[in-house]
C-alpha cells in the first residue's frame, strides 16, 4: 500500500479515531503502520461508521487513489450509494469496505439466467459456496460412480514437526533442500502458495536473499507463470486462492504452503480471530487444503511433494470439522502427514528422501498413496453431511444482505434474525451473535426512530449471558455506545486473542515448550534468545528473530490504543559489569528500528546476567534502553506462564463457552492496561530486577506462588 492508497487509509482511520478515539484498541497503531503484521482487523461498529459515512464518502471520492485506480473507480460507483450498508474492516495492510456477503443476486446477468452451472473439483459445502458467491441456494449434481475413474497420481504431504516458525532458518533450510532434490531428476521448479500478499512479499524476499530465481504471480498477469514454467530450478510465489492453478507432470513436483490456510480477506481474518465457533471457516480450511494438495496432481502420471511449514498445521488438520471437509483424494496423504508429524524431523526427512527416490515408480505406494479423484463432482454426502446442510444458515445470511443492499430493511432484519436463531441451535454462539449484530446494523441503517430500540435490544440480547470471549466484549461496547453510555477501552483483548491463536497452533506440545523455554532463560546465548520467543507469546506480543549481520537477537511487537510498541532485544551472558560498547550496539539497533517505524514507540531491551553497569554505560542507556536482569525475566515468565496455564486448562476444546469461562476466571489476575509497555520502558540506566517486576505488575507473594 503506497502513495494515494496509504494516504486514503490514514484519512479513513483518522475519521473514525476523531469520532471515537478509545473504542478500537489497535486502530491507532494500525493507522501508523506500527501494529504487528498479523494483527486481526478492527471491525468498525455500524453506528460509528454511520457517523463518519458522509465524510468518508467525500474522502474516497476525491482521493488520488481513486483517480489512479480504474478498477477501484468502477467498484466505487456501485458501492458509494450503499456505503453505510457495508461492513468496514481495518487491517494492517488495507481497509475492506464490503457487504457482509456479495449481493450477486442483484446482478441482472445472474438473476435473469434460468440455469446457472458452477464447475469445480473442490466444490466444498453448498452453503459455504453460497456465502462465498452470494448466490441463490445451490443444488449439487453427483457424478455417477461408474464415471468416477480418473486418478491423479501420487502425493506426499509433510508437516513441520517442530515449533519453529514457517520462515525460520531450520524450516526454510528443509524446504530448500527439497528444491535441490527436485532438481536432481527434473526441472526442479517449486510453487509457494501463500495466504496473503504480505506473506508472499516475505517469501519472495527470502528466496531472493538465498539467490534463487523467483517469479511473482499476481492476479491479472499470467506472464510470470509462463516464464517460471520455462525456467529450471525457479520458484513461483503467489497469494490468495488457487483454483485453476494447474501444475501437471514435470511442470512442478514441489508445492510449499508456508502458513495454515485460514483466511484470504479481512472479513475471513476477522471471523478466524473473533468468531472461533463459525464452523464454515473450518470447512474453508479443509477445502483450501484440498485445493493446495491438488495443484501438482492433475493426471494419473503425476507425483508431487507438498510441504506445510506452519507449526499450527497439525493442530488444524486434527480438527474433526476440518478433516471432514478435506476431499477423499487427499485424505490419505493428510493422515500419513499427521502420523509422521508427532515423530520429529527424522521421519519427515526420511519420508522426503523416500519420495524423491521412488516417486516415479507407480508400484511403490507405501508412503505416497495414489488417489482416485471424483471428477467433476464430489462424493454423495452421508447422513451427517446432509443434516449439516439442512441446518445451514447460509441462505438466511445471503438473503439478509441482498435485501439490505436493495433497501428492504424489514425483510433483511427478519432473515438476519433467522440466521442467528439457526446458529444458536447449532451451538455457535459467537457466530450467532455476529448475525444479531448484523440485524442491529440493518435496523440502525433504516433510519426509522422506531427501529433504534429494536437494534439496541438485538445487540443486548446477543450479549446477555454470553461467554466473555473477545467478540462478546467488543459487542458489549457497541451495546453501551447505542445506549449513549461511555465506552471503556478493552485492556486484554489482544492478549487473549494471541493466546487463542497460540493454543490452536501449538496443540498438546505447548506445555512442554513453555517448560523448556523457562529453563533456557539461564542457558546459552541462543537458548536465552529462543526463550524470549516464548516469553513474547506469553505476554501477547509478536516475536521474530531477525537474521543478518548486526541483527538484533529478538524483536517484540504489540499494539496499545495510542501507539504501536516495538522492542529490540540483545542478550548478554557475561556477569561482568555491562560495558558501554554493548549499550552502543543496542542504541544503534534502536535508531535503525525507529527509522524503519517512525510512528512506533521503540525501546531497546537488554537481557543481562550482570548485577551492574559501568557508569558511562548506565548514563548512555538512561533514556532509551530497558536493562532486564535474568531474574526479572524469570519472574515475568513465571507469572505469565501461570496465568496462561490456568487459561489453557479452562480452554478445553476451544468452544466459545470454554474460552469465555477461562477468560472470566483468569482476567482478574492480570495487571491493568498497558502493563507490558510500562514494564519494558527505559529503566533510567538501572537494571530491572525480580522485585521491580513484582512491584510494577502488583504481583503479591501469594500470586507469585499460585499454581
Q: Say if residue 204 is in the same domain as residue 304.
A: yes
Q: What is the pLDDT of residue 16?
A: 95
pLDDT score of 431 more than 70: yes
In a domain, 410, yes or no: no
- C-alpha separations of 672 from 541, 565, 588, 601, 632 in Å: 16, 17, 32, 19, 19
In a domain, 85, yes or no: yes
Domain closes at, from 372, 393, 426: 372
State how far the Cα of 601 lies from the Cα of 408, in Å rounded to an integer: 47
In a domain, 641, yes or no: yes
Locate 653 and state its grid cell: 476444546
Average pLDDT for 344-364:
85
Q: Say if residue 38 is in the same domain as residue 159.
A: no
State how far the Cα of 114 lies from the Cα of 517, in Å rounded to an integer: 62
What DSSP element (H or E) covers 551? none
Contact present, 63 and 597 (Cβ < 8 Å): no
Average pLDDT for 657-667:
93
Exposed / middle / buried, residue 485 (Cβ in 10 Å: 0-12, 13-18, 19+): exposed
Q: Say if residue 211 is in the same domain as residue 82.
A: no
Q: Say if residue 67 is in the same domain as residue 171.
A: no
Q: DSSP letters along 372-438, please?
A: E---SS-PPP-HHHHHHHHT--HHHHHHHHHHHHTT-HHHHHHHHHHHHHHHHHTT-HHHHHHHHHH
State how far the Cα of 682 lies from the Cα of 688, in Å rounded to an integer: 10
Q: Which residues are 605's β-sheet partners?
A: 569, 626
Q: What is the 3-state secondary structure (H, E, C) of 233-284?
A: CEEEEEECCCCCCCCCHHHCCEEEECCCCCCCCHHHHHHHHHCCCCHHHHHH
In a domain, 136, yes or no: no
Q: Say if residue 90 is in the same domain as residue 225.
A: no
pLDDT score of 367 more than 60: no
Q: What is the pLDDT of residue 141?
A: 84
CATH number at residue 288: 3.40.50.300
In a domain, 335, yes or no: yes
Residue 31: closest CA among 92, 89, 87? 92
Domain closes at, from 327, 348, 372: 372
pLDDT score of 391 more than 60: no
In a domain, 476, yes or no: no
492-514 residue pLDDT tens: 888 999 999 888 877 677 888 89
> Average pLDDT of the chain?
88
Q: Say if residue 361 is in the same domain as residue 303.
A: yes
Q: Say if residue 364 is in the same domain as residue 505.
A: no
Q: Where are the beta strands (DSSP E) in 74-218?
A: 87-90, 95-98, 151-159, 190-194, 213-217
Percent of the chain at pLDDT exceeding 90: 59
pLDDT score of 544 more than 80: yes
Average pLDDT for 41-53:
95
Exposed / middle / buried, residue 464 (Cβ in 10 Å: 0-12, 13-18, 19+): exposed
State how far the Cα of 556 lies from the Cα of 540, in Å rounded to an integer: 10
Dihedrals φ, ψ of 103, to 5°? -80, 55
Q: Say if residue 277 is in the same domain as residue 367.
A: yes
DSSP character for 630?
H
CA–chain centroid gap for 334, Å, is: 22
Q: How many CB atoms lie within 10 A of CB 303?
A: 21
pLDDT score of 634 more than 80: yes
Locate 10 and state its grid cell: 490514514
Average pLDDT for 686-701:
87
Q: Say if residue 159 is in the same domain as residue 91.
A: no
Average pLDDT for 89-104:
94
State how far the Cα of 297 lies from the Cα of 193, in Å rounded to an integer: 15
Q: Say if residue 78 is in the same domain as residue 213.
A: no
CATH number at residue 521: 3.40.91
Q: What is the pLDDT of residue 21?
A: 85
Model confidence at 206, pLDDT cuts 50, 70, 90, reads very high
Give residue 13's domain range: 1-98
Q: Give the number of domains in the chain.
A: 3
Q: What is the pLDDT of residue 49?
A: 96
Q: What is the pLDDT of residue 56?
A: 96
Q: Between residues 546 and 687, which one has the greater pLDDT?
A: 687
Q: Between residues 446 and 544, which one has the greater pLDDT?
A: 446
pLDDT score of 121 more than 90: no
400-426 residue pLDDT tens: 999 999 999 999 999 999 999 999 999
Angle at 101 between CA 65 and CA 468, to 5 degrees: 100
452: left (phi over 0), alpha (psi -120 to 50) or beta: alpha
Angle at 605 between CA 602 and CA 608, to 5 degrees: 170
State how far the Cα of 507 lies from the Cα of 501, in Å rounded to an integer: 10
Average pLDDT for 159-169:
87
Q: Say if residue 185 is in the same domain as residue 76.
A: no
Contact present, 641 and 518 (Cβ < 8 Å): yes
Q: Between residues 680 and 147, which one has the greater pLDDT?
A: 680
Q: Say if residue 621 is in the same domain as residue 538.
A: yes
- C-alpha separations of 90 from 267, 434, 470 in Å: 10, 17, 17
Contact present, 230 and 282 (Cβ < 8 Å): no
In a domain, 252, yes or no: yes
132-157 residue pLDDT tens: 999 999 998 877 777 665 677 889 99
In a domain, 341, yes or no: yes
pLDDT score of 86 more than 70: yes
Exposed / middle / buried, residue 106 (Cβ in 10 Å: 0-12, 13-18, 19+): middle
pLDDT score of 119 more than 50: yes
Contact present, 44 and 97 (Cβ < 8 Å): no
Domain closes at, from 70, 98, 126: 98
Q: What is the pLDDT of residue 465?
A: 65
Lowest mean pLDDT among 5-9, 161-165, 199-203: 161-165
pTM score, two decimals? 0.83
Please list, in sequence order, all residues whose beta carbon lies within 8 angstroms of the beta carbon of residue 545, skipping any fewer than 6 positions away.
168, 529, 533, 553, 554, 555
Angle between helix axes 451-463 and 409-425 (nearest 10 degrees) is 10
Angle at 513 between CA 512 and CA 515, to 5 degrees: 65
Lowest mean pLDDT among 363-377, 541-555, 657-671: 363-377
Counting every residue, how long is the chain?
Answer: 707
Amino acid at each position: 500500500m503506497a502513495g494515494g492508497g496509504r494516504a486514503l487509509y490514514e484519512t479513513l482511520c483518522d475519521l473514525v479515531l476523531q469520532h471515537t478515539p478509545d473504542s478500537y484498541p489497535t486502530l491507532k497503531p494500525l493507522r501508523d503502520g506500527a501494529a504487528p503484521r498479523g494483527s486481526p482487523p478492527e471491525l468498525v461498529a455500524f453506528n460509528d461508521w454511520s457517523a463518519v459515512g458522509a465524510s468518508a464518502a467525500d474522502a474516497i471520492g476525491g482521493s488520488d487513489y481513486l483517480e489512479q485506480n480504474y478498477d477501484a473507480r468502477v467498484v466505487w460507483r456501485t458501492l458509494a450509494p450503499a456505503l453505510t450498508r457495508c461492513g468496514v474492516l481495518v487491517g494492517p495492510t488495507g481497509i475492506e469496505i464490503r457487504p457482509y456477503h456479495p449481493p450477486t443476486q442483484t446482478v441482472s446477468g445472474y438473476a435473469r439466467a434460468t440455469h446457472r452451472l458452477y464447475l469445480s473439483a473442490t466444490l466444498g459445502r453448498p452453503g459455504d459456496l453460497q456465502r462465498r458467491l452470494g448466490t441463490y441456494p445451490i443444488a449439487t449434481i453427483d457424478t455417477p460412480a461408474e464415471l468416477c475413474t480418473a486418478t491423479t497420481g501420487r502425493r506426499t504431504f509433510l508437516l513441520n514437526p517442530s515449533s519453529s516458525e514457517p520462515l525460520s532458518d531450520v524450516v526454510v533450510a528443509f524446504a530448500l533442500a527439497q528444491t535441490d532434490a527436485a532438481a536432481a531428476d527434473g526441472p526442479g521448479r517449486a510453487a509457494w502458495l501463500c495466504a496473503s500478499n504480505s506473506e508472499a512479499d516475505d517469501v519472495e524476499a527470502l528466496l531472493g536473499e538465498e539467490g534463487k530465481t523467483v517469479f511473482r504471480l499476481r492476479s491479472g498477469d499470467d506472464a510470470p507463470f509462463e516464464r517460471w514454467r520455462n525456467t529450471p530450478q525457479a520458484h513461483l510465489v503467489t497469494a490468495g486462492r488457487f483454483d485453476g492453478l494447474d501444475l501437471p507432470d514435470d511442470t512442478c513436483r514441489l508445492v510449499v504452503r508456508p502458513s495454515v490456510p485460514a483466511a484470504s480477506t479481512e472479513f475471513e481474518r476477522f471471523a478466524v480471530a473473533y468468531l472461533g465457533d463459525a464452523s464454515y471457516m473450518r470447512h474453508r480450511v479443509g477445502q483450501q487444503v484440498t485445493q493446495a494438495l491438488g495443484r501438482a496432481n492433475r493426471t494419473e502420471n503425476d507425483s508431487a511433494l507438498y510441504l506445510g511449514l506452519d507449526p499450527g498445521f497439525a493442530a488444524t488438520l486434527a480438527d474433526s470439522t476440518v478433516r471432514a471437509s478435506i476431499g477423499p483424494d487427499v485424505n490419505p496423504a493428510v493422515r500419513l502427514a499427521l502420523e509422521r508429524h508427532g515423530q520429529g524431523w527424522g521421519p519427515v526427512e526420511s519420508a522426503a528422501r523416500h519420495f524423491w527416490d521412488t516417486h516415479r515408480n507407480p508400484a511403490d505406494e507405501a508412503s505416497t498413496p495414489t488417489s482416485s479423484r471424483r471428477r467433476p463432482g464430489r462424493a454423495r454426502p452421508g447422513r451427517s453431511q446432509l443434516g449439516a446442510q439442512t441446518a445451514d444458515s447460509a441462505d438466511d445470511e445471503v438473503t439478509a444482505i441482498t435485501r439490505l443492499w436493495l433497501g428492504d430493511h424489514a425483510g433483511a432484519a427478519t432473515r438476519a434474525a433467522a440466521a442467528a436463531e439457526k446458529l444458536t441451535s447449532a451451538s455457535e454462539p459467537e457466530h450467532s451473535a455476529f448475525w444479531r449484530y448484523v440485524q442491529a446494523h440493518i435496523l440502525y441503517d433504516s433510519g426509522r426512530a422506531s427501529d433504534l430500540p429494536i437494534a439496541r435490544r438485538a445487540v443486548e440480547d446477543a450479549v446477555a449471558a454470553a461467554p466473555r470471549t473477545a467478540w462478546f466484549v467488543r459487542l458489549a461496547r457497541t451495546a453501551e455506545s447505542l445506549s449513549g453510555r461511555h465506552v471503556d477501552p478493552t485492556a486484554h483483548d489482544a492478549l487473549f486473542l494471541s493466546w487463542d491463536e497460540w493454543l490452536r497452533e501449538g496443540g498438546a506440545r505447548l506445555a512442554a515448550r513453555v517448560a523448556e523455554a523457562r529453563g533456557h532463560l539461564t542457558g546459552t546465548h541462543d537458548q536465552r534468545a529462543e526463550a524470549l520467543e516464548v516469553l513474547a507469546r506469553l505476554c501477547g506480543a509478536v516475536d521474530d528473530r531477525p537474521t543478518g549481520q548486526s541483527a538484533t537477537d529478538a524483536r517484540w511487537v504489540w499494539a496499545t490504543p495510542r501507539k504501536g510498541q516495538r522492542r529490540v532485544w540483545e542478550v548478554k551472558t557475561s556477569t561482568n559489569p555491562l560495558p558501554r560498547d554493548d549499550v552502543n550496539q543496542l542504541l544503534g539497533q534502536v535508531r535503525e528500528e525507529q527509522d524503519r517505524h517512525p510512528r512506533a514507540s521503540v525501546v531497546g531491551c537488554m537481557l543481562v546476567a550482570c548485577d551492574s553497569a559501568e557508569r558511562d554505560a548506565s548514563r548512555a542507556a538512561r533514556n532509551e534502553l530497558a536493562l532486564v536482569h535474568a531474574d526479572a525475566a524469570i519472574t515475568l515468565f513465571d507469572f505469565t506462564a501461570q496465568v496462561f496455564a490456568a487459561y489453557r486448562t479452562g480452554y478445553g476444546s476451544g468452544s466459545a463457552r470454554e474460552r469465555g469461562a477461562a477468560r472470566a476466571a483468569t482476567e482478574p489476575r492480570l495487571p491493568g492496561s498497558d502493563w507490558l509497555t510500562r514494564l519494558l520502558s527505559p529503566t533510567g540506566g538501572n537494571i530491572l530486577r525480580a522485585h521491580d517486576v513484582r512491584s510494577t505488575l502488583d504481583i503479591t507473594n501469594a500470586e507469585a506462588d499460585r499454581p
